[in-house]
Structure 1
Amino acid sequence: MARTKKSESVPVRIRFKELENGNKSIYLDIYYERKRRYEFLKLYLIPETSAEARAQNEHTLKAANAIKSQRIIDITNKKPPLVLSEKGKMRLIDWMEIYMEQRKQNGKRGLEPSVHSTVVQLQKYDPKARLCDVDKEFLDGFVEYMTKVAKTKRTKKPFAKKTIKTYVGYIVSALNLAVDEGILSVNPGLAIDRNAIQGEQKKREYLTIDEVRLLIDTPCREDVKVPFLFSCFCGLRLGDMRSLQWKNVIEETGKVHLEVRQRKTGNMLYLPLSTQAQGYLPEQRGDAEEHVFSIPHTTTLDVVLKRWAKAAGVKKNLCYHMSRHTFATMELTLGADLYTTSQLLGHRDVETTQVYAKIVDAKKEAAVLMIDKLFE
Protein backbone atom coordinates (compact mmCIF):
# COMPACT_ATOMS: atom_id res chain seq x y z
CA MET A 1 0.00 0.00 0.00
CA ALA A 2 1.41 3.34 -1.02
CA ARG A 3 2.35 5.66 1.82
CA THR A 4 0.17 8.73 2.04
CA LYS A 5 2.18 11.80 1.18
CA LYS A 6 2.32 14.24 4.04
CA SER A 7 1.03 17.66 3.03
CA GLU A 8 3.47 20.53 3.26
CA SER A 9 3.15 22.56 6.41
CA VAL A 10 1.88 26.09 6.04
CA PRO A 11 4.59 28.55 7.19
CA VAL A 12 2.10 31.25 8.18
CA ARG A 13 -1.18 30.74 10.01
CA ILE A 14 -3.77 33.18 11.30
CA ARG A 15 -4.45 32.86 15.02
CA PHE A 16 -6.72 34.65 17.45
CA LYS A 17 -6.21 35.83 21.02
CA GLU A 18 -9.26 36.35 23.24
CA LEU A 19 -9.30 39.77 24.91
CA GLU A 20 -11.02 40.65 28.17
CA ASN A 21 -13.39 43.06 26.40
CA GLY A 22 -14.79 40.24 24.23
CA ASN A 23 -12.84 41.14 21.09
CA LYS A 24 -10.31 38.86 19.40
CA SER A 25 -6.84 40.09 18.50
CA ILE A 26 -5.58 38.68 15.19
CA TYR A 27 -1.96 37.59 14.89
CA LEU A 28 0.19 35.55 12.54
CA ASP A 29 1.96 32.39 13.68
CA ILE A 30 5.09 32.33 11.48
CA TYR A 31 7.45 29.37 11.28
CA TYR A 32 10.69 30.32 9.47
CA GLU A 33 14.15 28.74 9.59
CA ARG A 34 13.12 26.45 12.46
CA LYS A 35 12.00 29.39 14.57
CA ARG A 36 8.46 30.30 15.53
CA ARG A 37 7.60 34.00 15.59
CA TYR A 38 4.38 35.90 16.16
CA GLU A 39 3.25 39.06 14.41
CA PHE A 40 0.39 40.89 16.08
CA LEU A 41 -1.47 42.77 13.35
CA LYS A 42 -3.36 45.24 15.56
CA LEU A 43 -6.53 44.00 13.85
CA TYR A 44 -9.48 42.93 15.97
CA LEU A 45 -12.68 40.93 15.52
CA ILE A 46 -15.65 42.25 17.45
CA PRO A 47 -18.66 40.30 18.80
CA GLU A 48 -21.06 39.71 15.89
CA THR A 49 -24.13 41.25 17.45
CA SER A 50 -25.35 42.90 14.25
CA ALA A 51 -25.06 42.80 10.46
CA GLU A 52 -22.69 45.77 10.61
CA ALA A 53 -20.42 43.91 13.04
CA ARG A 54 -20.36 40.84 10.78
CA ALA A 55 -19.49 43.00 7.77
CA GLN A 56 -16.71 44.73 9.72
CA ASN A 57 -15.24 41.37 10.75
CA GLU A 58 -15.35 40.18 7.15
CA HIS A 59 -13.32 43.19 6.00
CA THR A 60 -10.89 42.73 8.92
CA LEU A 61 -10.29 39.08 8.02
CA LYS A 62 -9.66 40.02 4.38
CA ALA A 63 -6.98 42.46 5.54
CA ALA A 64 -5.42 39.80 7.79
CA ASN A 65 -5.37 37.26 4.95
CA ALA A 66 -3.73 39.80 2.64
CA ILE A 67 -0.91 40.30 5.16
CA LYS A 68 -0.63 36.52 5.60
CA SER A 69 -0.28 36.07 1.83
CA GLN A 70 2.48 38.69 1.70
CA ARG A 71 4.39 36.97 4.51
CA ILE A 72 4.18 33.63 2.63
CA ILE A 73 5.51 35.35 -0.50
CA ASP A 74 8.36 36.84 1.57
CA ILE A 75 9.28 33.40 2.92
CA THR A 76 9.08 31.83 -0.56
CA ASN A 77 11.48 34.52 -1.79
CA LYS A 78 13.84 33.74 1.13
CA LYS A 79 13.14 37.11 2.71
CA PRO A 80 13.01 36.96 6.53
CA PRO A 81 9.46 37.98 7.46
CA LEU A 82 10.35 40.04 10.52
CA VAL A 83 13.72 41.54 9.64
CA LEU A 84 13.79 44.57 7.36
CA SER A 85 17.41 45.67 7.66
CA GLU A 86 20.95 44.32 7.79
CA LYS A 87 21.09 45.83 11.27
CA GLY A 88 18.90 42.92 12.29
CA LYS A 89 22.08 40.85 12.34
CA MET A 90 23.50 43.06 15.09
CA ARG A 91 23.92 41.46 18.51
CA LEU A 92 21.04 42.18 20.88
CA ILE A 93 23.42 43.37 23.61
CA ASP A 94 24.96 45.89 21.16
CA TRP A 95 21.50 47.15 20.25
CA MET A 96 20.72 47.52 23.95
CA GLU A 97 23.74 49.85 24.24
CA ILE A 98 22.41 51.95 21.34
CA TYR A 99 18.99 52.02 23.00
CA MET A 100 20.57 53.16 26.28
CA GLU A 101 22.44 55.99 24.53
CA GLN A 102 19.24 57.20 22.88
CA ARG A 103 17.43 57.20 26.21
CA LYS A 104 20.25 59.27 27.72
CA GLN A 105 19.95 61.78 24.88
CA ASN A 106 16.22 62.03 25.63
CA GLY A 107 16.99 62.95 29.25
CA LYS A 108 16.56 59.47 30.77
CA ARG A 109 20.05 59.21 32.30
CA GLY A 110 18.60 57.73 35.46
CA LEU A 111 17.73 54.53 33.58
CA GLU A 112 21.34 53.79 32.62
CA PRO A 113 22.21 51.57 35.63
CA SER A 114 19.09 49.42 35.18
CA VAL A 115 19.56 49.04 31.43
CA HIS A 116 23.23 48.17 32.03
CA SER A 117 22.14 45.49 34.52
CA THR A 118 19.77 44.12 31.87
CA VAL A 119 22.67 43.90 29.40
CA VAL A 120 24.80 42.07 32.00
CA GLN A 121 22.12 39.38 32.36
CA LEU A 122 21.67 39.11 28.58
CA GLN A 123 25.43 38.54 28.24
CA LYS A 124 25.18 35.65 30.68
CA TYR A 125 22.07 34.22 29.01
CA ASP A 126 23.06 34.43 25.33
CA PRO A 127 25.81 36.92 24.38
CA LYS A 128 25.71 35.99 20.67
CA ALA A 129 21.96 36.44 20.14
CA ARG A 130 21.20 38.78 17.23
CA LEU A 131 18.20 41.05 16.92
CA CYS A 132 16.79 38.74 14.25
CA ASP A 133 17.12 35.79 16.65
CA VAL A 134 14.88 37.35 19.28
CA ASP A 135 11.45 35.76 19.28
CA LYS A 136 8.87 34.68 21.85
CA GLU A 137 10.83 31.51 22.60
CA PHE A 138 14.01 33.53 23.25
CA LEU A 139 12.23 35.95 25.58
CA ASP A 140 10.37 33.21 27.45
CA GLY A 141 13.72 31.48 27.88
CA PHE A 142 15.27 34.67 29.26
CA VAL A 143 12.41 34.99 31.77
CA GLU A 144 12.91 31.36 32.83
CA TYR A 145 16.68 31.95 33.17
CA MET A 146 16.10 35.07 35.31
CA THR A 147 13.55 33.22 37.45
CA LYS A 148 15.38 29.92 38.01
CA VAL A 149 19.09 30.48 37.37
CA ALA A 150 20.21 34.10 37.74
CA LYS A 151 21.24 35.41 41.16
CA THR A 152 21.78 38.94 42.43
CA LYS A 153 25.42 40.04 42.62
CA ARG A 154 25.37 41.18 46.24
CA THR A 155 23.13 38.69 48.06
CA LYS A 156 23.32 35.75 45.61
CA LYS A 157 19.54 35.42 45.91
CA PRO A 158 17.00 35.03 43.07
CA PHE A 159 15.84 38.23 41.41
CA ALA A 160 12.50 39.70 42.47
CA LYS A 161 9.69 39.39 39.92
CA LYS A 162 9.46 43.16 39.80
CA THR A 163 13.14 43.37 38.75
CA ILE A 164 12.69 40.67 36.10
CA LYS A 165 9.67 42.49 34.73
CA THR A 166 11.70 45.72 34.60
CA TYR A 167 14.54 44.03 32.67
CA VAL A 168 12.13 42.46 30.18
CA GLY A 169 10.43 45.84 29.84
CA TYR A 170 13.73 47.42 28.76
CA ILE A 171 14.28 44.66 26.19
CA VAL A 172 10.76 45.11 24.79
CA SER A 173 11.27 48.89 24.72
CA ALA A 174 14.56 48.42 22.84
CA LEU A 175 12.78 46.17 20.35
CA ASN A 176 10.14 48.88 19.90
CA LEU A 177 12.97 51.20 18.92
CA ALA A 178 14.15 48.59 16.39
CA VAL A 179 10.65 48.61 14.88
CA ASP A 180 10.61 52.42 14.79
CA GLU A 181 14.02 52.40 13.06
CA GLY A 182 12.78 49.97 10.40
CA ILE A 183 15.06 47.15 11.55
CA LEU A 184 12.21 44.84 12.60
CA SER A 185 8.67 44.89 11.27
CA VAL A 186 7.12 43.72 14.53
CA ASN A 187 8.11 43.54 18.17
CA PRO A 188 8.27 39.87 19.27
CA GLY A 189 8.06 41.06 22.87
CA LEU A 190 4.34 41.73 22.42
CA ALA A 191 3.70 37.98 22.40
CA ILE A 192 5.45 37.00 25.63
CA ASP A 193 3.52 35.65 28.60
CA ARG A 194 3.46 38.61 30.97
CA ASN A 195 1.77 36.57 33.69
CA ALA A 196 5.01 34.63 34.14
CA ILE A 197 6.77 37.80 35.26
CA GLN A 198 3.88 39.65 36.85
CA GLY A 199 4.93 40.96 40.23
CA GLU A 200 2.51 42.23 42.81
CA GLN A 201 0.51 44.95 41.11
CA LYS A 202 0.48 48.30 42.86
CA LYS A 203 -2.84 49.78 43.76
CA ARG A 204 -3.65 52.73 41.50
CA GLU A 205 -4.42 55.70 43.76
CA TYR A 206 -6.68 58.33 42.23
CA LEU A 207 -8.77 61.30 43.30
CA THR A 208 -12.54 61.27 43.25
CA ILE A 209 -14.34 64.14 41.55
CA ASP A 210 -15.25 65.54 44.99
CA GLU A 211 -11.59 65.41 46.05
CA VAL A 212 -10.56 67.27 42.89
CA ARG A 213 -13.13 69.94 43.77
CA LEU A 214 -11.67 70.21 47.28
CA LEU A 215 -8.19 70.81 45.82
CA ILE A 216 -9.55 73.39 43.37
CA ASP A 217 -11.10 75.31 46.29
CA THR A 218 -7.96 75.13 48.49
CA PRO A 219 -5.12 77.69 48.08
CA CYS A 220 -1.71 76.37 47.00
CA ARG A 221 1.42 77.55 45.20
CA GLU A 222 0.40 78.37 41.63
CA ASP A 223 3.43 76.61 40.10
CA VAL A 224 2.19 73.38 41.71
CA LYS A 225 -1.60 73.76 41.76
CA VAL A 226 -2.05 74.83 38.13
CA PRO A 227 0.03 72.12 36.41
CA PHE A 228 -1.32 69.39 38.72
CA LEU A 229 -4.94 70.27 37.98
CA PHE A 230 -4.11 70.58 34.27
CA SER A 231 -2.82 66.98 34.38
CA CYS A 232 -5.97 65.89 36.22
CA PHE A 233 -7.95 67.04 33.18
CA CYS A 234 -5.62 65.78 30.43
CA GLY A 235 -3.56 62.93 31.93
CA LEU A 236 -0.13 64.21 30.88
CA ARG A 237 2.85 62.71 32.75
CA LEU A 238 5.11 64.93 34.86
CA GLY A 239 8.07 64.45 32.50
CA ASP A 240 5.98 65.55 29.53
CA MET A 241 4.60 68.49 31.52
CA ARG A 242 8.12 69.71 32.27
CA SER A 243 9.08 69.58 28.59
CA LEU A 244 5.77 70.95 27.23
CA GLN A 245 6.39 73.99 25.01
CA TRP A 246 3.97 76.39 23.40
CA LYS A 247 4.73 74.89 19.98
CA ASN A 248 3.07 71.72 21.34
CA VAL A 249 -0.19 73.60 22.05
CA ILE A 250 -2.14 73.77 18.78
CA GLU A 251 -5.19 76.00 18.30
CA GLU A 252 -7.40 75.25 15.28
CA THR A 253 -10.98 76.29 14.52
CA GLY A 254 -11.62 77.28 18.11
CA LYS A 255 -10.35 73.99 19.53
CA VAL A 256 -7.11 73.27 21.36
CA HIS A 257 -5.06 70.08 21.34
CA LEU A 258 -1.55 69.00 22.29
CA GLU A 259 0.97 67.33 20.00
CA VAL A 260 3.62 65.84 22.27
CA ARG A 261 6.36 63.26 21.81
CA GLN A 262 6.13 61.27 25.01
CA ARG A 263 9.41 61.02 26.89
CA LYS A 264 8.60 57.60 28.31
CA THR A 265 7.69 55.82 25.05
CA GLY A 266 9.01 58.12 22.33
CA ASN A 267 5.60 57.97 20.62
CA MET A 268 3.61 61.00 19.47
CA LEU A 269 0.50 61.85 21.47
CA TYR A 270 -2.34 63.88 19.94
CA LEU A 271 -4.44 65.01 22.88
CA PRO A 272 -7.57 67.20 22.59
CA LEU A 273 -8.05 69.49 25.59
CA SER A 274 -11.38 69.93 27.34
CA THR A 275 -12.53 73.42 28.26
CA GLN A 276 -11.70 72.53 31.87
CA ALA A 277 -8.10 71.66 30.95
CA GLN A 278 -7.73 74.79 28.80
CA GLY A 279 -8.70 76.85 31.84
CA TYR A 280 -5.37 75.93 33.46
CA LEU A 281 -3.22 77.07 30.53
CA PRO A 282 -1.51 80.44 31.12
CA GLU A 283 -3.60 83.30 29.69
CA GLN A 284 -0.63 84.80 27.85
CA ARG A 285 0.75 82.54 25.13
CA GLY A 286 4.57 82.46 25.03
CA ASP A 287 7.10 81.95 22.23
CA ALA A 288 7.16 78.59 20.44
CA GLU A 289 10.21 77.27 22.33
CA GLU A 290 9.10 78.64 25.70
CA HIS A 291 7.90 76.14 28.32
CA VAL A 292 4.22 76.34 29.17
CA PHE A 293 4.69 75.52 32.87
CA SER A 294 7.51 76.14 35.33
CA ILE A 295 7.28 73.24 37.78
CA PRO A 296 9.52 73.10 40.89
CA HIS A 297 12.02 70.32 41.60
CA THR A 298 10.47 66.94 42.46
CA THR A 299 11.49 67.14 46.14
CA THR A 300 9.76 70.50 46.58
CA LEU A 301 6.83 69.36 44.46
CA ASP A 302 6.16 66.32 46.67
CA VAL A 303 6.27 68.38 49.88
CA VAL A 304 3.89 71.04 48.53
CA LEU A 305 1.44 68.44 47.16
CA LYS A 306 1.19 66.70 50.52
CA ARG A 307 0.65 69.98 52.39
CA TRP A 308 -2.00 70.97 49.86
CA ALA A 309 -3.86 67.66 50.27
CA LYS A 310 -3.79 67.99 54.06
CA ALA A 311 -5.11 71.55 53.91
CA ALA A 312 -7.90 70.42 51.56
CA GLY A 313 -8.90 67.51 53.78
CA VAL A 314 -7.91 64.92 51.16
CA LYS A 315 -6.74 61.91 53.15
CA LYS A 316 -4.51 60.43 50.47
CA ASN A 317 -0.75 60.40 49.93
CA LEU A 318 -0.90 62.91 47.08
CA CYS A 319 1.80 62.60 44.42
CA TYR A 320 1.94 64.09 40.93
CA HIS A 321 1.30 60.83 39.05
CA MET A 322 -2.04 60.55 40.86
CA SER A 323 -3.28 63.26 38.49
CA ARG A 324 -2.85 60.84 35.56
CA HIS A 325 -4.68 58.06 37.40
CA THR A 326 -7.43 60.56 38.21
CA PHE A 327 -7.86 61.53 34.55
CA ALA A 328 -8.03 57.88 33.42
CA THR A 329 -10.55 56.90 36.08
CA MET A 330 -12.66 60.01 35.45
CA GLU A 331 -12.83 59.31 31.70
CA LEU A 332 -13.96 55.71 32.17
CA THR A 333 -16.41 56.63 34.93
CA LEU A 334 -18.03 59.23 32.68
CA GLY A 335 -18.51 56.69 29.88
CA ALA A 336 -15.43 56.83 27.64
CA ASP A 337 -14.60 53.43 26.17
CA LEU A 338 -11.37 51.59 26.96
CA TYR A 339 -9.77 52.08 23.52
CA THR A 340 -10.39 55.85 23.48
CA THR A 341 -9.04 56.23 27.01
CA SER A 342 -5.98 54.20 26.01
CA GLN A 343 -5.34 56.59 23.11
CA LEU A 344 -5.76 59.67 25.33
CA LEU A 345 -3.21 58.28 27.80
CA GLY A 346 -0.77 57.38 25.04
CA HIS A 347 -0.64 53.72 26.03
CA ARG A 348 0.88 51.31 23.50
CA ASP A 349 -1.91 48.80 24.07
CA VAL A 350 -5.32 48.59 25.71
CA GLU A 351 -4.04 46.01 28.22
CA THR A 352 -2.17 48.77 30.09
CA THR A 353 -5.40 50.75 30.41
CA GLN A 354 -7.37 47.72 31.60
CA VAL A 355 -6.29 48.26 35.22
CA TYR A 356 -8.28 51.52 35.31
CA ALA A 357 -11.36 49.73 33.98
CA LYS A 358 -11.10 47.32 36.92
CA ILE A 359 -11.06 50.30 39.30
CA VAL A 360 -14.24 51.65 37.70
CA ASP A 361 -15.89 48.21 37.86
CA ALA A 362 -15.07 48.05 41.57
CA LYS A 363 -16.64 51.50 42.03
CA LYS A 364 -19.81 50.30 40.27
CA GLU A 365 -20.01 47.22 42.50
CA ALA A 366 -19.58 49.39 45.60
CA ALA A 367 -22.36 51.69 44.37
CA VAL A 368 -24.73 48.75 43.88
CA LEU A 369 -23.96 47.41 47.36
CA MET A 370 -25.08 50.76 48.79
CA ILE A 371 -28.65 49.78 47.84
CA ASP A 372 -28.38 46.67 50.04
CA LYS A 373 -27.41 48.83 53.02
CA LEU A 374 -30.67 50.77 52.68
CA PHE A 375 -32.66 47.61 53.42
CA GLU A 376 -30.52 46.06 56.15
Structure 2
Amino acid sequence: MFKRMVTAAVDKDLIKKNPCRGFVLKNDNMTLQKVILLREEIQQLVATHFEGEKGDIHQAFIFGLYTGVRWCDTSQLTYRNVDYTTKTLRFQQQKTKDHSSRSWVIVPLNDTLIRLIGEPSDDDFDERIFKLPHYNICNLYLRKWIKEAGIKKKITWH
Protein backbone atom coordinates (compact mmCIF):
# COMPACT_ATOMS: atom_id res chain seq x y z
CA MET A 1 0.00 0.00 0.00
CA PHE A 2 2.88 2.33 0.79
CA LYS A 3 4.37 1.78 -2.66
CA ARG A 4 1.00 2.58 -4.27
CA MET A 5 0.76 5.82 -2.31
CA VAL A 6 4.27 6.84 -3.34
CA THR A 7 3.48 6.02 -6.98
CA ALA A 8 0.33 8.15 -6.73
CA ALA A 9 2.38 11.01 -5.27
CA VAL A 10 4.81 10.81 -8.22
CA ASP A 11 1.91 10.71 -10.69
CA LYS A 12 0.47 13.88 -9.15
CA ASP A 13 3.88 15.60 -9.15
CA LEU A 14 3.93 15.81 -5.36
CA ILE A 15 7.38 14.21 -5.38
CA LYS A 16 9.85 14.01 -8.27
CA LYS A 17 11.24 10.49 -7.93
CA ASN A 18 9.77 7.22 -6.69
CA PRO A 19 12.14 5.97 -3.97
CA CYS A 20 10.36 2.58 -4.04
CA ARG A 21 11.17 1.81 -7.68
CA GLY A 22 13.40 -1.23 -7.93
CA PHE A 23 12.49 -2.64 -4.51
CA VAL A 24 10.65 -5.95 -4.52
CA LEU A 25 8.72 -7.26 -1.54
CA LYS A 26 9.56 -10.96 -1.53
CA ASN A 27 7.79 -12.22 1.55
CA ASP A 28 4.73 -10.60 2.99
CA ASN A 29 3.76 -12.42 6.18
CA MET A 30 0.75 -10.16 6.50
CA THR A 31 -0.85 -11.50 3.31
CA LEU A 32 -4.10 -13.29 3.99
CA GLN A 33 -4.11 -16.62 2.23
CA LYS A 34 -7.52 -18.12 1.62
CA VAL A 35 -8.08 -21.86 1.58
CA ILE A 36 -10.63 -22.79 -1.06
CA LEU A 37 -12.60 -25.87 -1.90
CA LEU A 38 -11.95 -27.61 -5.20
CA ARG A 39 -14.89 -28.58 -7.42
CA GLU A 40 -14.57 -32.23 -6.34
CA GLU A 41 -14.55 -31.20 -2.67
CA ILE A 42 -17.68 -29.10 -3.16
CA GLN A 43 -19.40 -32.06 -4.79
CA GLN A 44 -18.29 -34.29 -1.92
CA LEU A 45 -19.57 -31.76 0.61
CA VAL A 46 -22.93 -31.44 -1.14
CA ALA A 47 -23.27 -35.23 -1.19
CA THR A 48 -22.36 -35.64 2.49
CA HIS A 49 -25.24 -36.16 4.89
CA PHE A 50 -25.03 -37.21 8.51
CA GLU A 51 -27.14 -37.59 11.61
CA GLY A 52 -27.89 -34.23 13.19
CA GLU A 53 -27.20 -32.17 10.09
CA LYS A 54 -28.81 -28.75 9.95
CA GLY A 55 -30.68 -28.27 6.68
CA ASP A 56 -30.74 -24.47 6.67
CA ILE A 57 -27.01 -24.21 7.41
CA HIS A 58 -26.28 -26.84 4.79
CA GLN A 59 -28.36 -25.06 2.14
CA ALA A 60 -27.12 -21.58 3.04
CA PHE A 61 -23.48 -22.62 2.78
CA ILE A 62 -24.05 -24.26 -0.60
CA PHE A 63 -25.89 -21.12 -1.71
CA GLY A 64 -22.87 -19.04 -0.66
CA LEU A 65 -20.47 -21.34 -2.49
CA TYR A 66 -22.30 -20.88 -5.77
CA THR A 67 -23.17 -17.18 -5.46
CA GLY A 68 -20.29 -15.69 -3.47
CA VAL A 69 -22.75 -14.02 -1.10
CA ARG A 70 -21.27 -13.43 2.37
CA TRP A 71 -22.70 -15.06 5.51
CA CYS A 72 -23.85 -11.70 6.90
CA ASP A 73 -25.87 -11.10 3.73
CA THR A 74 -27.10 -14.69 3.32
CA SER A 75 -28.40 -14.69 6.88
CA GLN A 76 -30.49 -11.57 6.20
CA LEU A 77 -31.97 -12.55 2.82
CA THR A 78 -35.74 -12.63 2.54
CA TYR A 79 -37.94 -13.87 -0.27
CA ARG A 80 -38.53 -10.23 -1.16
CA ASN A 81 -34.90 -10.16 -2.36
CA VAL A 82 -35.67 -12.80 -5.01
CA ASP A 83 -37.24 -11.95 -8.34
CA TYR A 84 -38.56 -15.30 -9.52
CA THR A 85 -39.55 -13.88 -12.91
CA THR A 86 -36.04 -12.73 -13.88
CA LYS A 87 -34.28 -15.31 -11.67
CA THR A 88 -32.22 -12.72 -9.86
CA LEU A 89 -31.32 -11.97 -6.28
CA ARG A 90 -31.12 -8.29 -5.34
CA PHE A 91 -29.93 -7.07 -1.95
CA GLN A 92 -27.93 -4.37 -0.22
CA GLN A 93 -24.62 -5.60 1.21
CA GLN A 94 -24.42 -5.36 4.98
CA LYS A 95 -20.69 -4.54 4.85
CA THR A 96 -21.10 -1.38 2.76
CA LYS A 97 -24.71 -0.47 3.55
CA ASP A 98 -25.03 3.23 4.41
CA HIS A 99 -21.38 3.80 3.38
CA SER A 100 -21.49 3.43 -0.37
CA SER A 101 -23.89 4.06 -3.21
CA ARG A 102 -22.57 0.81 -4.67
CA SER A 103 -23.81 -1.43 -1.89
CA TRP A 104 -26.56 -2.98 -4.02
CA VAL A 105 -25.84 -6.36 -5.57
CA ILE A 106 -27.71 -8.29 -8.25
CA VAL A 107 -26.90 -11.99 -8.57
CA PRO A 108 -28.29 -14.15 -11.38
CA LEU A 109 -29.79 -17.41 -10.12
CA ASN A 110 -29.98 -20.66 -12.03
CA ASP A 111 -32.80 -23.19 -11.63
CA THR A 112 -30.83 -25.19 -9.04
CA LEU A 113 -30.38 -22.13 -6.82
CA ILE A 114 -34.05 -21.21 -7.23
CA ARG A 115 -34.99 -24.73 -6.05
CA LEU A 116 -32.52 -24.41 -3.16
CA ILE A 117 -34.12 -21.14 -2.06
CA GLY A 118 -37.67 -22.37 -2.53
CA GLU A 119 -40.68 -20.09 -2.45
CA PRO A 120 -42.30 -18.22 0.43
CA SER A 121 -45.17 -19.80 2.29
CA ASP A 122 -48.47 -17.92 2.20
CA ASP A 123 -46.93 -15.00 0.29
CA ASP A 124 -44.79 -14.03 3.29
CA PHE A 125 -42.07 -12.31 1.31
CA ASP A 126 -40.49 -10.81 4.44
CA GLU A 127 -39.67 -14.27 5.83
CA ARG A 128 -35.97 -15.09 5.90
CA ILE A 129 -34.89 -17.64 3.33
CA PHE A 130 -32.40 -19.34 5.65
CA LYS A 131 -33.06 -19.54 9.37
CA LEU A 132 -29.48 -19.40 10.59
CA PRO A 133 -28.08 -19.33 14.10
CA HIS A 134 -25.12 -17.16 15.11
CA TYR A 135 -22.09 -17.05 12.78
CA ASN A 136 -19.88 -18.97 15.25
CA ILE A 137 -22.42 -21.77 15.51
CA CYS A 138 -22.61 -21.97 11.72
CA ASN A 139 -18.81 -22.27 11.53
CA LEU A 140 -18.78 -25.01 14.22
CA TYR A 141 -21.34 -26.92 12.21
CA LEU A 142 -19.38 -26.31 9.02
CA ARG A 143 -16.22 -27.80 10.58
CA LYS A 144 -18.15 -30.94 11.54
CA TRP A 145 -19.68 -31.21 8.08
CA ILE A 146 -16.28 -30.81 6.37
CA LYS A 147 -14.80 -33.48 8.63
CA GLU A 148 -17.69 -35.84 7.84
CA ALA A 149 -17.03 -35.23 4.13
CA GLY A 150 -13.39 -36.26 4.61
CA ILE A 151 -12.01 -32.86 3.59
CA LYS A 152 -8.82 -31.92 5.42
CA LYS A 153 -8.89 -28.16 4.99
CA LYS A 154 -9.73 -25.42 7.44
CA ILE A 155 -12.74 -23.84 5.74
CA THR A 156 -14.79 -21.06 7.26
CA TRP A 157 -18.00 -19.53 6.01
CA HIS A 158 -16.19 -16.43 4.77
TM-score, scaled relative to structure 2: 0.71
Matched, 1:263 2:94: yes
Q: 1:239 aligns to what?
A: 72
What displacement does 1:283 show? 4.3
The structure with the largest helix share of the pair is 1
Q: 1:7 aligns to what?
A: none
Provide the identity percentage: 27
2:37 alignment partner AA? L
Deviations 1:26-63 (A, max 9, x none): xxx779xxxx7xxxxxxxxxxxxxxxxxxxxxxxxxxx
Q: 1:214 aligns to what?
A: 44
Show structure 1 runs of 5+ residues with no match. 1-28, 37-136, 138-194, 322-376
What displacement does 1:274 show? 2.1
What displacement does 1:206 show? 1.1
Task: Give the distance between the partners of 1:309 and 1:30, measured in 2 at CA.
Answer: 50
Show structure 2 runs of 5+ residues with no match. 1-10, 16-24, 98-102
Q: Kindly indicate whether the alpha-carbon contact (under 8 Å) linking 2:91 and 2:105 is maintained by their aligned counterparts in 1.
A: yes
Q: How does 1:142-181 map to 2 (within 5 A)?
A: none
* Structure ID, larger Rg: 1
1:223 alignment partner AA? D
**Structure 2 SS opposite 1:264:** coil
Matched, 1:248 2:81: yes
Give the number of equivalent residue pairs: 128
TM-score, scaled relative to structure 1: 0.32
Matched, 1:281 2:107: no
Task: Give the distance between the partners of 2:72 and 2:142, measured in 1 at CA.
Answer: 17
Alignment RMSD (CA, Å): 2.3
Task: Indicate how the Cα distance of structure 1 residues 245 and 278 shifts in structure 2: closer, same or farther if over 3 A, else same.
Answer: same
Q: How does 1:1-376 map to 2 (within 5 A)?
A: 200-219=30-49, 220-252=53-85, 255-266=86-97, 267-285=103-121, 286-321=123-158
RCO greater where, 1 or 2, for CA within 8 Å and sep 6 or more?
2
Q: Kindly indicate whether the alpha-carbon contact (under 8 Å) linking 1:223 and 1:296 is maintained by their aligned counterparts in 2.
A: no
Task: Give the distance between the partners of 2:29 and 2:93, measured in 1 at CA.
Answer: 25
Q: Kindly indicate whether the alpha-carbon contact (under 8 Å) linking 2:117 and 2:129 is maintained by their aligned counterparts in 1.
A: yes
